[in-house]
Amino acid sequence: MRNACASVIYLGKIELRWCQNCNLPVLGKTCGICNSDTEEVKLTPPGDIRPAFPFDIELCRETIEKQFGNAILPDIVILNDVPSIDRMDEVIFNGKVAGALQYDMEEKKFRFIPRVWFASVIKPSRGFVVADEGAVLPILNGSNLLAPGVIDASPEIKRGNEVVVYSPDREVIGVGKAYMDSREMEKGKHGMAVKIRWKGIEKDERISNATWDDVLRANENIIASRVNKAVDFIHRTIRESGLPHAVSFSGGKDSLATLFLVLDAGYKPPIFFINTGLEFEETVRYVREIAEKLSLKLIEEDAGDIFWKAIDFFGPPARDYRWCCKTCKLGPTTRLIRKNFPEGVLSFIGQRRYESEQRAKKGSIWKNPWVEGQVGASPIQNWTALHIWLYLFKKQREYKLKWNELYEHGFSRIGCWLCPASDMAEFEFRKHKDWKKFEEKLKNFASKHNLDERWVYGGMWRWRHTPNWDDGKYEIKEERKYTIKGNESTIENFLKIIGEVNKLGDREYEAGGIKIWLGEEVKSSDREGLVRDVVYKAINCMGCGICMAKCSRNAISIKGGKAHIGDDCVHCLKCMEECPVIVFR
Ligand code: SF4
Ligand code: SF4
């Protein structure tokens, strides 16, 4: 695996600033407590900052202690999600980045990469190297530490470890990565001992005793102004859309904030929840609890066990092969809207620009291209995760309601428990009770396609095509065959998509003037590609219901776990467009 980080991504303004007087984070130019001007915090874009929960602080503390012998952190710590191969968060306090907490996929553990000022605060008793006097200036001027310049190194250092470099009088002058273990360093006559990441002499030993109550006070006006804008947006959008409205609730923080905002605007919306069948139990429980406690109508649609049926056909989902989003999310969404909002619906959805490039480009109001009649609107499009959390901390008091408990167990986003977009770190935080069942599927697929253990256990299954940062190339080729036998009546029904169907003989049909023969191979007098797709779709249909949304004639229903084409079909072929069986062939 190459040591690569994703390129810098700008999705919006970096909002985090710091009041040095109160020593706490502020999301605007003036501190709401002391009225001082705040300072910009230099961090890595996109800057979707969030509070560290006690779990995160403890994880950080343990990791730092293991590596450096000492750890000290205040209660108010901000985390900044940095684009990386797996989980990596910048850890921020005192108005600057103290280091980065990174999950190492190969080693399956976290490591901490400190900055110089923080290394000076913790004064490492492990993971340190002492440079001789002659190496101090070159290091401060940007050189790496060579082996002859090492006069001492703590004995446990292994190649690849993050280390702190001291001057002979034990002042921290740099931090970096060990290129040798400690014995090699001490004996080494040549070669690089430490590749320096950060250099300098810097100290800041303040440990803030601010609390989250203080942070709320410091940001009160800023959050209030965001809420006012969001409430105006909600009123305006409802007025202009002319559609019934609802809140799409996933059980995550963004949809919770969206729901509270709609309540703040004075509405009592129904909430809808798509249970993908892959939700953590905590999430399902939480969604129902919120609906009950807020006395809101809950409309739930369940994907059932479609994932487990579909995985044998598609293989494991991957970041570049997300069939599951279609079958487990889009299909049930389509059904829910069809059943409950036949005239269309304005859904308030908790989407934010800081989440992804795609969402940054989307704007605050959009038409769902996949679900006819659904207009999405996000009142929190320009909020960072810290805006969301400060608002939720405030609402928690008002409603006596907490957020999904998974956030207190290391999760920064809530989704399906085996989502391929998850970091490996999250799979380590909590494994669902069905994880073994999923792992069996991975193992079977791996043995069929000659994939190694790293693909199964090292998380490489999350990419269908080898990502460009990885050196281990693998290729997955799927060959899916037709099995006509036993599927004749479904095929005959699906041929309606092409045109009016006449049965001419045994496995011989005419559809829309095209003659079709279903033998070993599918043959037709015309449009053979289309005919094959329709036959293939009929055989493999898993009843996800996505095609129902595409059909303006309402000609499709789900019967016996498969789509059924009714007599109102006008052969427009629209239902061929998004069928996952065809798209992910
Ligand atoms: S979208 Fe509806 S009308 Fe068009 S071909 Fe499919 S079933 Fe028929
Ligand atoms: S035919 Fe319709 S229900 Fe069947 S898999 Fe395709 S989109 Fe889903």
What is the band of 13 on the pLDDT scale with cuts at 50, 70, 90?
confident
Report the separation in Å between the CA atom of 241 and the middle of ligand 2, taken as the mean of its atom positions: 30
- Determine what percent of the chain falls in helix, strand and coil, rounding each to the nearest 5: 35, 20, 45
Report the separation in Å between the CA atom of 562 and the middle of ligand 1, taken as the mean of its atom positions: 15
Q: In sequence order, what are the beta bridge partners of 377?
A: 348, 365
pLDDT at 558 over 80: yes
Give the Cα separation of 564 and 463 in Å (integer).
Answer: 33
Higher-confidence residue of 238 and 548: namely: 238
Task: Give yes or no for residue 569 CB within 6 A of ligand 1.
Answer: yes
State the pLDDT at residue 235.
98
State the pLDDT at residue 8.
63
Query: Could you tell me the sign of the dihedral formed by the alpha carbons of 570, 575, 577, 581, in that order?
Result: negative
Report the separation in Å between the CA atom of 249 and the middle of ligand 2, taken as the mean of its atom positions: 25
State the pLDDT at residue 207.
92
DSSP helix/strand/coil, 361: helix
Give the Cα separation of 549 and 372 in Å (integer).
Answer: 6
Give the Cα separation of 349 and 5 in Å (integer).
Answer: 31
Q: β-strands 345-348, 245-248: how paired? A: parallel
Query: Side chain identity at 565, as an amino acid letter?
Result: I
Dihedral angle over CA of 101, 402, 423, 66, nearest 10: 30
State the pLDDT at residue 118.
97
Task: Give yes or no for residue 252 CB within 6 A of ligand 2.
Answer: no
Give the Cα separation of 443 and 455 in Å (integer).
Answer: 9
**Residues 507, 528: contact at Cβ < 8 Å?**
no
Report the separation in Å between the CA atom of 527 and the middle of ligand 1, taken as the mean of its atom positions: 17
State the pLDDT at residue 459.
93
DSSP-assigned states of every residue in 518-535: ESSSEEESS-HHHHHHHH
DSSP-assigned states of every residue in 156-192: T--TT-EEEEE-TTS-EEEEEEESS-HHHHHH-SSSE
Average pLDDT over residues 523-547: 93
Give every CB contact of residue 525 below 8 A, 6+ residues apart in sequence: 514, 515, 516
- Residue of 225, 229, 263, 227 whose CA lies nearest to 247: 263
**Residues 285, 251: contact at Cβ < 8 Å?**
no
State the pLDDT at residue 7.
60
- Residue of 175, 197, 160, 91 whose CA lies nearest to 128: 175
Task: Give yes or no for residue 565 CB within 6 A of ligand 1.
Answer: yes
What is the band of 562 on the pLDDT scale with cuts at 50, 70, 90?
very high
Task: Give yes or no for residue 328 CB within 6 A of ligand 2.
Answer: no
Nearest CA to ligand 1 atom 6: 575
Task: Give yes or no for residue 306 CB within 6 A of ligand 2.
Answer: no
- CATH class in words for 212-316+324-409: alpha beta
**Residues 307, 332: contact at Cβ < 8 Å?**
no
- Residue of 23, 21, 22, 19 whose CA lies nearest to 40: 19
CA-angle at 46, arms to 401 and 276, nearest 5°: 50
- Residue of 266, 272, 256, 270 whose CA lies nearest to 235: 266
Report the separation in Å between the CA atom of 533 and the middle of ligand 1, taken as the mean of its atom positions: 14
Ligand 2 atom, smallest distance to 331 CA: 8
Give the Cα separation of 129 and 178 in Å (integer).
Answer: 9
Probe target for ligand 2 pocket from 537, 565, 573, 584, with the most ligand atoms within 8 Å of CB: 537
Give every CB contact of residue 237 below 8 A, 6+ residues apart in sequence: 346, 365, 377
Mean pLDDT of all residues belonging to the chain: 93
Q: For the domain 127-208, what is the CATH superfamily, name and number?
A: PUA domain (2.30.130.10)
Query: Side chain identity at 131, as an amino acid letter?
Result: A
Give the Cα separation of 247 and 250 in Å (integer).
Answer: 10
Report the separation in Å between the CA atom of 568 and the middle of ligand 1, taken as the mean of its atom positions: 8
Q: In sequence order, what are the beta bridge partners of 300?
A: 273
- Residue of 222, 283, 226, 225 whose CA lies nearest to 256: 283
**CA of 566, nearest ligand number:** 1
Report the separation in Å between the CA atom of 522 and the middle of ligand 1, taken as the mean of its atom positions: 22
Probe target for ligand 1 pocket from 551, 564, 567, 577, with the most ligand atoms within 8 Å of CB: 551
State the pLDDT at residue 3.
45
Give pLDDT tens digits for 53-94.
999 999 999 999 999 999 999 999 999 999 898 999 999 999
* Exposure b/e, 201-240, CB count within 10 A at least 16 = b: ebeeeeebebeeebbbbbbeebbeebbeebbebbeebbee
Task: Give yes or no for residue 577 CB within 6 A of ligand 1.
Answer: no
State the pLDDT at residue 2.
45
State the pLDDT at residue 556.
94
What is the band of 14 on the pLDDT scale with cuts at 50, 70, 90?
confident
Task: Give yes or no for residue 545 CB within 6 A of ligand 2.
Answer: yes
Nearest CA to ligand 1 atom 2: 551
* Boundaries of every domain in the chain: 1-114, 127-208, 212-316+324-409, 488-583
Report the separation in Å between the CA atom of 103 and the middle of ligand 2, taken as the mean of its atom positions: 39
Report the separation in Å between the CA atom of 64 and the middle of ligand 1, taken as the mean of its atom positions: 60
What is the band of 1 on the pLDDT scale with cuts at 50, 70, 90?
low
Ligand 1 atom, smallest distance to 568 CA: 3
Probe target for ligand 2 pocket from 323, 490, 496, 546, with the most ligand atoms within 8 Å of CB: 546
Average pLDDT over residues 284-310: 96
Ligand 1 atom, smallest distance to 556 CA: 7
Nearest CA to ligand 2 atom 5: 541
Give the Cα separation of 88 and 491 in Å (integer).
Answer: 50
Nearest CA to ligand 2 atom 4: 541
**CA of 511, nearest ligand number:** 1
What is the band of 188 on the pLDDT scale with cuts at 50, 70, 90?
confident
Give pLDDT tens digits for 132-147.
999 999 999 999 999 9
Give every CB contact of residue 467 below 8 A, 6+ residues apart in sequence: none
Report the separation in Å between the CA atom of 554 and the middle of ligand 2, taken as the mean of its atom positions: 14
Ligand 2 atom, smallest distance to 543 CA: 3
Report the separation in Å between the CA atom of 317 and the middle of ligand 1, taken as the mean of its atom positions: 28
Ligand 2 atom, smallest distance to 544 CA: 8
The Cβ of residue 424 has, within 10 Å, a number of other Cβ atoms equal to 18
Give the Cα separation of 47 and 62 in Å (integer).
Answer: 25
408 φψ region: left (φ > 0), alpha (ψ -120 to 50), beta (else): alpha
Report the separation in Å between the CA atom of 569 and the middle of ligand 1, taken as the mean of its atom positions: 5
Give pLDDT tens digits for 35-44.
999 999 999 9
Nearest CA to ligand 1 atom 3: 569
Task: Tell me which residue has tokens 């092969």.
Answer: 321
Give the Cα separation of 68 and 57 in Å (integer).
Answer: 16
Average pLDDT over residues 421-430: 92
Give the Cα separation of 103 and 31 in Å (integer).
Answer: 34
Report the separation in Å between the CA atom of 542 and the middle of ligand 2, taken as the mean of its atom positions: 6
Task: Give yes or no for residue 575 CB within 6 A of ligand 1.
Answer: yes
Best-predicted range by mean pLDDT among 103-107, 117-121, 182-186, 483-487? 117-121
Task: Give yes or no for residue 556 CB within 6 A of ligand 1.
Answer: yes
Give pLDDT tens digits for 444-470.
999 999 999 999 999 999 999 888 888
Omega prior to 46 cis, within 30 of 0: yes
**Residues 491, 537: contact at Cβ < 8 Å?**
no
Task: Give yes or no for residue 563 CB within 6 A of ligand 2.
Answer: yes
Average pLDDT over residues 529-555: 91
447 to each of 312, 440, 456, how far by Cα in Å? Answer: 14, 11, 10
Probe target for ligand 2 pocket from 496, 541, 554, 574, with the most ligand atoms within 8 Å of CB: 541
Task: Give yes or no for residue 551 CB within 6 A of ligand 1.
Answer: yes
Query: What ipTM was assigned to the predicted interfaces of this complex?
Result: 0.98
Q: In sequence order, what are the beta bridge partners of 247?
A: 271, 348
DSSP helix/strand/coil, 92: strand
State the pLDDT at residue 549.
82
Count of alpha carbons within 13 Å of 304, Cβ hemisphere only? 11
Give pLDDT tens digits for 246-276.
999 999 999 999 999 999 999 999 999 999 9
